[in-house]
Chain A
Amino acid sequence: GDSVTQMEGPVTLSEEAFLTINCTYTATGYPSLFWYVQYPGEGLQLLLKATKADDKGSNKGFEATYRKETTSFHLEKGSVQVSDSAVYFCALSDQRGSYIPTFGRGTSLIVHP
């Protein structure tokens, strides 16, 4: 079945550092890929998405590129802020399968001033 694997956290960075959170997936169909963010005390919200190979999703300075050859969708940001501290979830949705999203375990990001 479909699965998503994320790097374990927490990831601890200083403000303005470069961020990478790794995500790889397994899917038999043609998935769309997503990154969700969960701020403390809130629900998950969509950060960015990509629907086909080589697409790049971007939002709020974050970006991720759909790499079919490496089955990856790594999240990057060039300069993190304290306000980026949150839990980040990678997810996929197989558009030709059950459609129901499959989530990774989440990666906690802590940014220090």
Chain B
Amino acid sequence: DAGVIQSPRHEVTEMGQEVTLRCKPISGHDYLFWYRQTMMRGLELLIYFNNNVPIDDSGMPEDRFSAKMPNASFSTLKIQPSEPRDSAVYFCASSPGSGAGELFFGEGSRLTVL
């Protein structure tokens, strides 16, 4: 399997612009997670899906952030409008569930908002 695939790997944008990050989970995995990583706050869980349904979005920082999973093989995280404090590395991870607890991470999308 190719693993979890994220795009873009790097994104530089200006404040106020819309940013869309994309994720393709490992085929057959029931869970999909979006994390944000910064030096100050470490690794933060933003939202997770089970069978394409959002289960917990309490980690989404504010209404500017939204996430969708229209099918089992694709998810997006959107920031609109973006702000400099959104600069971070955003990770997507998937898991087969079944109580295994192990997550498979993508390589991340590094976002810089100027």
A106 touches B103 (CB 8 A): no
Of A12-20, A40-48, A58-66, A67-75, the stretch lying at the interface with chain B is: A40-48
**Contact between A100 and B43, CB atoms less than 8 A apart:** no
A44 touches B107 (CB 8 A): no
Indicate if the CB atoms of B102 and A49 lie closer than 8 Å: yes
Residues from chain A with a CB closer than 8 A to the CB of B93 are 43-44
Residues of A within 8 A of B56 (CB): 100
A25 on the B face (CB < 8 A) = no
Would A43 and B99 count as touching, CB distance under 8 A? no
> Which residues from B are CB-within-8-Å of A56?
none
- Which among B48, B102, B105 is the interface contact of A43 at CB below 8 angstroms? B105
Instruction: Please pick, from A42, A45, A46, A106, the residue contacting B42 in the complex, using a CB distance under 8 A.
Output: A106
Residue A34 at the B interface, CB < 8 A? yes
Asked if A99 contacts B43 (CB within 8 A), the reply is no
Task: Give B98-114 interface residues, CB cut-off 8 Å to A.
Answer: 99-108
Chain B residues with CB under 8 Å of A100's CB are 33, 45, 48, 56
Q: List 19 A-B contacts (CB under 8 A).
A: A34-B101, A43-B91, A43-B108, A44-B93, A45-B104, A45-B105, A46-B103, A49-B101, A89-B43, A93-B99, A99-B97, A99-B99, A99-B101, A100-B45, A100-B48, A100-B56, A101-B103, A103-B42, A106-B43
